[in-house]
Structure formats: C-alpha cells, structure tokens
Copies of this chain bind each other. A is one copy, B any other.
Amino acid sequence: MVTVRDVARAAGVSAITVSRVVNASGPVNAITRERVEKAIADLRYVPNGMAKSLKSRQTHTLALVLTDITNPFWTTVARGVEDTAAARGYHVIVCNTDEDPQKELNYINILVQRRIDGMILAPSSNNTERLDLLSRYDMPCVLIDRHVKGKKMDIVRGDNAKGGFALTRHLIGLGHRDIAIMSGPVEVSTASQRLDGYRRALAAHDIPIQPDYIKYGTFKEGSSEQIVKELLAASPRPTAIVAMNNLMCIGALRALRAEGLRVPEDIALVSFDDIPQASSIYPFLTVCVQDAQKMGQMATALLMERIADKAASEPQEIVLDTTLIVRESCGAQLVKNAGIHR
C-alpha cells in the first residue's frame, strides 16, 4: 500500500505537501505540484479514506435503516436517498430490519461504532433507548415515514391521516357503508394515523365503527390471509376493504380470490401506497400514494442540514401530501358495482 510518505519521498517533498496537492488545501508551487503529481501517477497513489476519516471525524457515509427492502415503497425511498446523497459525495449503507427491533438495535450499535455521519431511520418500535444512544453520540438522525411515540425528532412522513380519510371517503362515496380495514402493527404510527383517518371518515358520515372490521397485520403480504378470513366471517360481511399498505393489499387480493371472491365485482379493495410496476400494466386498484422518492430526497436533505449545522434547532416535521389515484379505466365504475352488492 503506497502512502503519502512514499509519494513524498519519490517527489522529494514532505508528506504535508503531497496532502496539499491532493486536497488543494494549501499553496503549492507549480513546479513542486507537477513533481508531486507525477509521483502520484507513477506510484498510483490512492489516499486512504479511513485515515482521513479518523482525522477529520467525517465518514461521508449515511445509513438508511428501513423495515422492508422488498417493498417497492422503500426501494423508491432508497433511490431518493441514494441520489441525493451521491450528489453531495455521500455514500449510503442500506440496512434492512424486517420490522425486527432487535435487528434494528444491532444495526444502530454498529453504525454508531462506525461513526457514520448520520442516519435516516424508519423505526420499528417505540422503544427510545436506542435513540438516546444516538443523541449521546451526537449522531444526527432523521425519522422517515414513522414517529417514535413521545420523541420529538426530525421527521419526514406522509399525510397518513388524510390518506386514510380519503380512501375511506372514496368508498363511502361509492355507496359502501360496511367498510373494513387492514391496518399495520398497532404500535407503528403510520398504521394508527391511517386508522384514525378511516375512523374520522366514517364518523363524518355517521357510520358507526364496527370493531369487527378493524384488523391489525404486519405490513407484509403474508399477514393478509388470516385477516381476510376473519373479515369475511364478520356479520354483516364488509363490502369493501381498505388495505393500509401495498403488500397487504396484494395479499388480500390473493386471499379474496382464493375464497372465490372477485375484486371489485364481489368486494371492493383499495390501498395505501401503490405497486408501481403492477399498476403500470394493470391499472386496477384505487390507491392513495405518497411520493416515496421525494420523501427520501427530503429526508436526506434535512439530514445533511443537520450534519452541516449540529446546532440543535427545533426538530422539524415535514409532512408530504398524499394523492388519491382513482383508477378510472376500470377501477371506479367497477367499484361502484361493488357498492350495489350490499
């Protein structure tokens, strides 16, 4: 491994002069510079980032800790983060927690050891211990998508309540009154906010809330099967289901089909978050979407601000709007049919 000193020796200068040439961090005589540059080229010197980081206390590395790298929502977020970070010379370590607080904790511990410059975190639990660790180590952290209960922190998230409201109201507008909901884990803020929206929409239309219609899943495809079974057993049977996440929606669609029910002829189904490639070729389900890429970009931008200026100003909460996409082509009128079924 060739070091600054090797280059310095070859060029007949001191190490610091080489450093100045490499980083343009000080005045260097043109002739000296040339000699140094030649030595660098000859020896194929590549500066050692670790040593630099040790000295500068900057790793130019961010971490994105997310809960499901399989979900198109998160991969789109990741793309937004990577783009923004790369544009500013930062690298992104992607960590997948699978909604497992233990995995998340492990990651955070190692990331702190690594002295990454900051992290974007989708928390998988409301436990605050690990976050205290972050602040103790002065590691900037921006939450994404989800709050941690009782912790005031920087966060970029979607307008979940509004989205839950919009989806539910859409169904109500189509004539549905027996509307069930597949929510996510109770302790996840995203799930509860969306659920709130659902509740408020029903209340706004004087539709009583049926506890039987409210189910909690895991935000994964697999959790839908059982829920669908339970919902279909409820009486009266719901005529519509609001899936609070894209994967659960896919799971529900499959489960409903397995039960012999057609969507939307026999039962209506709408979802929070889209399935990009799917709806591109099969524009079918009405969905409430968030701009995931923008969410990633904004979280990264905010994080970089915090990194640049650690002076503790007020934690910021950025709420991105959600958009209801009513699939006119086949969705809307078909869903209307479903309304007739009740």
Beyond A69-B79, A75-B75, A82-B94, whether A250 also contacts B49 by CB under 8 A is no
What separation, in Å, do the CA atoms of A136 and B42 have in the docked complex? 13
Flag A72-103 by CB within 8 Å of B: 1 or 0 each: 10011011001100100001111110000000
B54→A82 contact, CB < 8 A: no
Interface window among A32-40, A108-116, A318-326: A108-116
Beyond A79-B70, A282-B281, whether A46 also contacts B112 by CB under 8 A is yes
A59 interface hit (Cβ, 8 Å): yes
A247 to B, closest residue via Cβ? B277
B82→A69 contact, CB < 8 A: yes
A280 interface hit (Cβ, 8 Å): yes
Question: Could you say which residues of chain B place their CB within 8 Å of the CB of A112?
Answer: 46
A278 interface hit (Cβ, 8 Å): yes
A114→B69 contact, CB < 8 A: no
Q: In the complex, which of the residues A76, A79, A91, A281 has the most CB atoms of chain B within 10 Å of its own CB atom?
A: A281
What separation, in Å, do the CA atoms of A278 and B253 have in the docked complex? 12
Beyond A44-B136, A91-B93, A92-B94, whether A49 also contacts B115 by CB under 8 A is yes
What separation, in Å, do the CA atoms of A59 and B79 have in the docked complex? 24
Question: Could you say which residues of chain B place their CB within 8 Å of the CB of A113?
Answer: 46-49
B280→A250 contact, CB < 8 A: yes
Question: Could you say which residues of chain B place their CB within 8 Å of the CB of A234?
Answer: none
Write the nearest CB–CB distance from A302 to chain B, whole angstroms. Answer: 21
A92→B93 contact, CB < 8 A: yes
Write the nearest CB–CB distance from A252 to chain B, whole angstroms. Answer: 10
Flag A45-74 by CB within 8 Å of B: 1 or 0 each: 011111101100001010000000110100
Question: What 10 A-B pairs have minimum CB-CB distances, sorted nearest first?
Answer: A278-B278, A49-B114, A49-B113, A282-B282, A75-B75, A275-B277, A50-B54, A50-B53, A91-B93, A253-B281
13 A-B pairs with C-beta separation under 8 A: A46-B113, A48-B115, A49-B114, A50-B115, A54-B54, A70-B75, A75-B75, A83-B96, A86-B96, A91-B114, A92-B93, A275-B278, A275-B281
